Amino acid sequence: MNNFEYLRAETLDQAVAAAAANPAAKFIAGGTNLVDLMKYNVERPERVIDITRLPLREIAPTEEGGLLIGALVPNSDLAYDERIQACYPLLASAILAGASPQLRNSATTGGNLLQRTRCYYFYDPGTPCNKREPGTGCPAIEGQNRIHAILGTSEHCIATHPSDMCVGLAALEAVIHVQGQGGARRIPIGEFHRLPGDTPHIDTTLRHDEVVTGVELPPSDYGSNHTYLKLRDRLSYAFALVSVAAALKIEDGVVAKARLALGGVAHKPWRDTAAEALLVGNPPGRERFAAAAEEVLRDARGYAHNSFKIELARRAIIRALEQAAAGTPQSQTDKRIR
């Protein structure tokens, strides 16, 4: 870990100004990812700006009938919030599918959005990595890529986004509220995370001086027909090989609305609106679910060790849609898959 300057921001403006003044500054809240990365010498911020004193810990109703989640709301508080559990159980489930209770107690909503990839090479400064050191290459493409992406990859990077929460947010069409020197912005979740392209070192569209202030959830129709299905190499405490957030609004035996997003398969939470459209207007059923899965995976591409993810994702999508249609969401405590 390098030496760094530590600043504690008392106001949002202070935080923004402190970041703007130093291009190698980083915000810290829960610290569950940044501190790890600093210990590995992957992140070497010159300045660490502590934003935990900012008044961003509320979950408040919005005028539209949704909720605005403060960026500093811990993952555990969010998952167990009564309003979230009642109206956005998919989000609660996605959060509880990730990490451990100890980590969720510390990790924040804003920080979860900004988790960095678990790519082995990114984490190991003894190896090349375009995400860590642009231009050095991507050994994962020809190397160990079991946990890597099958969608939206580039010749420069095949890393995945590790968050479970963000997959839930993608399905729920969350909007990220940010503030920087240029003022406040709202970024739809689908535009928040980036694909790697030829700049894989840039994970999001957040500007350097911008702080995530909150996550807005629009009103939800998905209280009963939803699931978050996470498949991994052990039954708990592992990142997803493939995860699926699925939500259906079923009216008179027909899918009126559908949401489908995947984790563990791409550099960002992977929502597919075309696949959703295939479901709408039809009765829920395995054949339709399979068609949606085919649509999601049409351009999927595997590498030496992760090609299985294409088939696994196809099956996981079908199962998740079955769970959602049946109103039997996956439990995150009972590890038996429904």
Partner 1 sequence: MPNPEAYVGRPTSRVDGPAKVTGAARYAAEYFAPDLAYGVVVSSAIARGRITAIDTAAALAVPGVIHVFTHENRPRTAWLDYNYRDEVAPPGSPFRPLHGPEIQFSGQPVALVVAESFEAAGYAASLVKVEYEAAGHVTDLEVKRHEAYVPKKKRAGVKPPPEPRGDPEGAFGAAPVHVDGDYTHAIEHHNPMEPHASTVVWEGDGKLTIYDKVQGSQNSQKYVASVFGLNADDVRVVNAYVGGAFGSGLRPQYQLFLAVMAALELKRSVRVVLTRDQMFTFTHRPHALQTIRLGADEEGRLMSVRHDVVQSTSQFEDYQENIVNWSGLMYRCDNVALTHKLAQIDTYTPGDMRAPGATTGVFALEIAMDELAERVGIDPVELRLRNYAEKDQDENKEFTSKELRECYRIGAERFGWSRRNPAPRSMRDGRELVGWGMATGCWEAYFQKTSARARLAAGGELEIATASSDIGTGTYTILAQLAADDLGVPIERVAVRIGDSSLPASPIEGGSWTAASAGAAVQAACGAVREKLLGLARSIDGSPLANAGIEHVAFRDGRIELAGDPERFVTLADAMQAGGVEHVEAEETVSPDILTSMRYSMYTHSAIFAEVKVDEELGIIRVTRIVNAVAAGRILNPKTARSQVLGGIVMGVGMALEEESMLDHNLGRFMNHNFAEYHVPVNADIHDIDVIFVPEHDDKANPLGVKGLGEIGIVGTAAAIANAIYHATGKRIRALPITPDKLL
Binding footprint of partner 1 on the chain (CB under 8 A): 1-3, 40-41, 118, 120-121, 123-127, 139, 142-144, 146-147, 231, 233-239, 241, 308, 311-312, 315-316, 319, 335-338
CB-based burial label for 2 (10 Å; 0-12, 13-18, 19+):
exposed
Cβ at position 144, least distance to partner 1 in Å? 5
CB 85 within 8 A of CB 42: no
Cβ 317 to partner 1 shortest distance, Å:
11
Of the pair 118, 268, the CB lying nearest partner 1 is at: 118
Please give the DSSP secondary-structure letter assigned to residue 331: P
**Closest approach of partner 1 to the CB of residue 323, in Å:** 11
CB of 314 to partner 1, least distance (A): 10
Q: How far is the CB of 3 from partner 1 (least distance, A)?
A: 6
Closer to partner 1 by Cβ: residue 195 or 238: 238
Cα angle 276, 335, 148 (rounded to 5 degrees) comes to: 55
C-beta closer to partner 1: residue 52 or 144: 144
| Residue 195 half-sphere exposure toward CB, CA atoms < 13 A | 12
Tally of CB atoms within 10 A around 274: 11
In eight-state DSSP terms, residue 157 is B
Shortest reach from residue 312's CB to partner 1, in Å = 6
List all residues 6 or more positions away from 291 whose beta carbon is below 8 Å from its beta carbon. Answer: 278
Nearer to partner 1, 282 or 307 (CB): 307
Strands (E), the chain: 5-8, 25-28, 47-50, 59-61, 67-70, 175-180, 183-188, 211-217, 226-231, 242-251, 254-263, 270-271
Residue number, 179 or 306, with CB nearest to partner 1: 306
Please say which residue, 6 or 237, places its beta carbon nearer to partner 1: 237
